[in-house]
Homo-oligomer: A and B are copies of this chain.
Amino acid sequence: MNGAHSLVKTLLNQGVDTCFANPGTSEMHFVAALDQIDGMRCVLGLQENVVTGMADGYARIAGKPACTLLHCGPGLANGLANLHNARRARAAIVNIVGDQATYHRPHDAPLTMDTSSLAHTVSGFVRASTCAADVGRDAAAATQAARALPGQVATLILPSDTCWSEGGIVADALPALTAAPLDPHSIETAARMLRNGRETLILLGGAGLLQPAQELAWRVAQATGATLMADFVCGQVARGRGRVPLARVPYVAEAARAALERFEQIILVAAKPPVSFFAYPGQPSIEYRAEAELQTLARGDQDVVAALQALVDELGAPPAAMPDPGARPEVAHGASTPEGLARTVAALMPENAILCEEAISYSRGLYDETYAAPAHDMLHLAGGAIGDGMPVATGAAVAGSGRRVINLQADGSAMYTIQSLWTQARERLPVTTVILNNRQYAILLGEYANVGATPGETAMQMLDLGNPDLGWINLAKGMGVEAARAETLDELADLMRASFERDGPFLIELMI
């Protein structure tokens, strides 16, 4: 058995049965093994940032890692930005990078790059196999590492001779790594803080934003009067009817400071102390009050649900019914606004939908207006590297087994990974993409205003997406996805309803 065969069989043993790929010459033996061994679903992306973004979206929804298949250092380089986002979203990915044969690397052939250094920038685990006998063992270790709480990118670099050489050994499934132990002192301290009468925020991130943790956090909040909030930096939030109506820390630093200013104490649940995305002249980096007392209840590598349960027990917090979010919103009418778009989506989305938002400057109101929607999973851009919305939506749809995915997608960001549409068409995925067409990098025009200047011709040349206008319907059709334009929210509603009746993808260009 060659190394490639041992790789595929080992991955399947670990429960990794989906491979997002853009292979090259050095991966041909891996491709052949995938062809010859049943059980792995292979999904092609036309550029590697699509591939890695799909693996991220898949992991968030499947709750287990897929593997990637990338080609040498440059293939990894192309996929790094969405691996960065996956790292920030704490997604589990077995990131497989084929590379030059061990003995060929010293010759510095053209595609040779410092693959390992690239991998280290986004991975919690990096290993390069050195011979066929190690590939199975290393693949099992990479999968175990990827699944370690809270989930991480584990990169396995496979020189081509480790794949084609005989001597491969299939590895059995490795046990899940245990969570780091909870610190009883942290739980006692948090409980004491929650009883001392001071204004307290419980900031939820990571697994703290999924349903089991939300229910426990809600009991704590009801028992103590603490406020619950979602970290801005998060990949996935359970939302809608039956979930806690969490607000999210705002993106804009000034708004975030205003939202956090009143808290004397912050209890962190798989969240870091909130800081602004960027520094601004004369403004602080941190978004909370400098004298606030911070206490970590649980880190991402600990069992967040167990920590919250322990806090519930410590406080003796009684069961608490989830709040009633009120009536489901109705479709909005007329010209699009961020709030009207959110209401319309909330009015129409099917039960258990996946809402993948990379709405950037148009995300205002999204949380408020979708509280009363049916239960759904909201996926966010956690790492700030634009261009994850479309591939994450695509990978989420692969994992979703028919769940409807709605991708609210800013136009500028969409152009980063527009190739995702082709994979949606090929795989006939139930993705409804809403392109928010404002023909500019609106968020940057806002930031430019902060500089205190009015953009002239040269600045607009770098901030404006018109001249020529992007033709979204043509772009979608060029990749096999049907598309139509909505000038109003009424038209959007009609097109969304129709798209939900389809098996495959559909793109709506919404003029905003």
Contacts and interface: CB of A to CB of B under 8 A. Distances in A.
Contacts of A111: 277-278, 383-385
A468 B480 contact: yes
Contact of A42 (B23, B31, B101, B461): B461
A469 B462 contact: no
Contacts of A477: 471, 474
B74 A384 contact: yes
23 contacts: A36-B456, A42-B461, A47-B415, A69-B462, A73-B121, A74-B84, A74-B385, A77-B77, A88-B110, A103-B285, A104-B278, A107-B285, A111-B277, A113-B121, A160-B279, A164-B281, A418-B419, A422-B470, A471-B477, A471-B478, A471-B480, A474-B475, A475-B475
A63 to B, nearest CB: 23
- 3 shortest interchain CB distances as A-B pairs: A468-B480, A74-B385, A474-B478
A25 B277 contact: yes
A286 B281 CA distance: 56
Contacts of A272: 108
Nearest to A481: B468
A112 B114 CA distance: 21
Nearest to A159: B279
B108 A84 contact: no
Nearest to A105: B279
Contacts of A117: 117-118, 120-121
A451 B47 CA distance: 24
A111 B108 CA distance: 32
A60 interface: no
Contact of A74 (B26, B383, B471): B383
Nearest to A381: B110
Nearest to A232: B110
Contact of A114 (B36, B121, B285, B475): B121
A100 B25 contact: no
Interface string A87-105: 0100000000000110110
A29 interface: yes
Contacts of A385: 74-75, 77-78, 111
Contact of A104 (B25, B78, B285): B285
Interface string A46-83: 11010000000000000000000100011101101100
